[in-house]
A and B are shown apart, each in its own frame.
Chain A
Amino acid sequence: MKKILAVVRREFVERVRTKAFVISTVLLPVFMVAMVLLPALMMSGGDRASRVAVVDASTTGLGQPVSHALESEKLGNGPNAKSRYAVQVFPATSDDLAKVRDGLIASTGFSGDKQKDGWNGVLVLTDDTLATGKLSYYGGNVGSLESMSKLQRAISGALAGVRLGKSGVDAALVKRAMAPADLDTTKVSDGKLTGQSGQESFMIAYFMGFILYIAILIYGQQTMTSVIEEKTSRIMEVLTSSLTPFQMLLGKVLGVGAAGLAQMAIWGGTVFVLSSQRTPLAAAFGMSADAAQSFPIPSMAPGLLLVFLLYFALGFMLYGALYAAIGAMCNTIQETQQYAIFVTVFIIVGFFAVFALIKDPTGPLGVTMSYIPFFAPFTMPVRWSLTSVPPLELVLSLALMVATLLACVWLAARIYRTGILMYGKKPSWRELWRWVRA
Chain B
Amino acid sequence: MTAASVRIESVTKRFSGHTAVNRLSMEVAAGGIFGLLGPNGAGKSTTIRLIMGILEPDEGRIVLFDSPHGSRALSQRIGYLPEERGLYKKMKVLDHLIFLGETKGIGRADARKRAQAWLERLGVSEWALKKVEDLSKGMQQKVQFAGALLHEPELVILDEPFSGLDPVNAQVMKDIVVAIAAEGRTVLFSTHVMEQAERMCDRIAIIARGEMVVNGTVAQVKEDFGGRHVALGFTHDKARAGNILADRALVAHVDDYGASAELQMADGADPEQLLAALVREGVGLRRFEVVEPSLHAIFIAKVGAEAATAHAGVAA
Tell me the residues in window 126-175 of chain A with beta carbons closer than 8 Å to chain B beta carbons.
Answer: none
Given the complex, which residues of B lie within 8 Å of A241, measured CB to CB? 52-54, 71-72, 75, 78, 80, 82
Expressed in whole angstroms, the Cα–Cα distance for A6 and B151 within the complex equals: 15
Interface size class of B (residues with CB under 8 A): 20 to 34
Q: How far is the CA of A116 from the CA of B204 in the complex (A)?
A: 101
Q: 1/0 per position for A224-244, CB-CB distance to B under 8 A?
A: 000000100111111111111
For A421, list chain B residues within 8 Å (CB). Answer: 49, 54-55
Q: Does residue A2 face the partner (Cβ distance < 8 Å to B)?
A: yes
B72 / chain A contacts, CB cutoff of 8 Å? 241-244
Bound complex: CA of A176 vs CA of B166, how far in Å?
A: 97
Chain A residues, CB < 8 A from B53? 240-241
Interface centre among A2, A7, A13 (most CB of B within 10 A): A2
State the CA gap A2–B102 with chains docked (Å): 8
Min CB distance B14 to A, Å, is 14
Interface of A is mostly: helix
Given contact pairs A234-B82, A421-B54, A421-B55, A242 touches B103 in the complex (Cβ within 8 A): yes
Q: Which of A2, A14, A240 meets B54, CB within 8 Å? A: A240
The answer to whether A233 touches B105, judged by C-beta atoms less than 8 angstroms apart, is no
Q: Is the CB of A6 within 8 A of B102?
A: yes
In the bound complex, what is the Cα–Cα distance between A18 and B52 (angstroms)? 33
Determine how close the nearest CB of chain A comes to the CB of B22; give it in whole angstroms.
20
Chain A interface extent, by class: 20 to 34
A3 within 8 A of B: yes
Instruction: Tell whether B87 is near chain A: CB-to-CB under 8 Å.
Output: yes
**A10 within 8 A of partner (CB):** yes
Inter-chain CA distance A197–B86, complex, in Å, is 56
Chain B residues near A10 (CB, 8 Å)? 88, 91, 95, 99
Chain A minimum-CB-distance residue to B107: A2
Chain B residues with Cβ below 8 Å from A18 are 90
Q: Which residues of A contact B78 (CB under 8 A)?
A: 241
Q: Is B89 an interface residue (CB 8 A)?
A: yes
Best-surrounded residue of A2, A3, A235, A243 (most CB of chain B within 10 A): A235
- Are A242 and B104 in contact, CB atoms less than 8 angstroms apart? yes
A6: chain B residues within 8 A (beta carbon): 99, 102-103
22 contacts between A and B (CB under 8 A): A2-B105, A3-B103, A10-B95, A18-B90, A234-B84, A235-B86, A235-B87, A235-B88, A237-B84, A238-B144, A238-B148, A239-B103, A240-B52, A241-B72, A241-B78, A241-B80, A242-B75, A242-B104, A243-B72, A244-B72, A421-B49, A421-B55
Beyond A2-B102, A235-B86, 6 additional pairs, beta carbon < 8 A: A2-B105, A3-B102, A6-B102, A10-B91, A14-B88, A18-B90
6 A-B pairs closest in CB distance: A234-B86, A6-B102, A234-B84, A235-B86, A242-B75, A237-B82
